[in-house]
Amino acid sequence: MQPPDRHNQGSVPNDSPGVSHWQPSGVVTSMWVSLAIALGALGLFGFGLAYTLIGAAPPDNSELVFNWWIVAGLSLVILAIHQLVHAATARLAGNEPSIELDVIQWVFPVMYVRVTGQYFSRSTFLLYALTPLLLLSLVGILAMIVDHRSVMLIIPLAINSSLSTRDLWMAWVVWKLPRESMVQMQRDGLTLISSDPDQDV
């Protein structure tokens, strides 16, 4: 099948050769919860170990600074930056992302990027999905080397890792496609357009 124009937001019929729709099942969603907990724990251990090994030491005769209010604020900032990085990579891929705000349970503000109906190549989708986690983790580790107060980044970075579960899972789904394939974002999942119509996607 000929890959569609990335700016054409029309749907692709699922009965077209090489086209399938991926949507997380209830079982997958339950697995996401377990994986998110595991990634959060791994993040706490990994970033904590990184700070222990390479983190900047406090100045002489000063105590290590740790404030839970700052940690909470940094967590919100990092999660907002996570979405902004998604938006930036989507725009680099030639798409037109929109940033939307919502409130969960009338209490928790949430910002997310919507690119429903827009197309990515396989490589640009992997960039879109993985860059926020990788970039923020790298910047956080570099901050640990520079400033001892970056100890307060350990928990926010672990939360960022935990909440990247969906991104990582979708990247794994798309990674299995042939190189020249396309991906269309949907509200409830992904439309996978394989460059090899004989491949079961």
The tens digit of pLDDT for each residue in 57-103 reads 888 767 777 899 999 999 999 999 999 999 999 999 899 999 888 77
Q: What is the CA radius of gyration of the chain?
A: 19
Each domain of the chain, given as residue ranges in start order, spans 25-193
pLDDT in tens, 105-126: 566 677 889 898 889 999 999 9
Distance, in Å, from the CA atom of 110 to the CA atom of 115, rounded to the nearest integer, reads: 16
Distance, in Å, from the CA atom of 120 to the CA atom of 143, rounded to the nearest integer, reads: 32
Distance, in Å, from the CA atom of 81 to the CA atom of 161, rounded to the nearest integer, reads: 13
pLDDT at position 1 is: 45
Distance, in Å, from the CA atom of 157 to the CA atom of 29, rounded to the nearest integer, reads: 22
Instruction: For the chain, give the percent of residues with pLDDT over 90.
Output: 61
For residue 114, the one-letter residue type is R
**Strand partners of residue 103:** 109
Q: Is the pLDDT of residue 131 over 90?
A: yes
- Give counts: helices (H), strands (E), the chain: 5, 6
pLDDT at position 2 is: 46
**C-alpha dist (Å) from residue 193 to 35, 129, 200:** 27, 17, 10
Tokens linked to 54: 């390479």
Count Cβ atoms within 10 A of the Cβ of residue 81 and give its class: 0-12 exposed, 13-18 middle, 19 or more buried.
middle
Distance, in Å, from the CA atom of 67 to the CA atom of 70, rounded to the nearest integer, reads: 5
pLDDT in tens, 13-56: 455 667 888 888 888 888 999 999 999 999 999 999 999 999 98
**C-alpha dist (Å) from residue 33 to 27, 45, 165:** 10, 19, 8
- What pTM did the predictor assign? 0.84
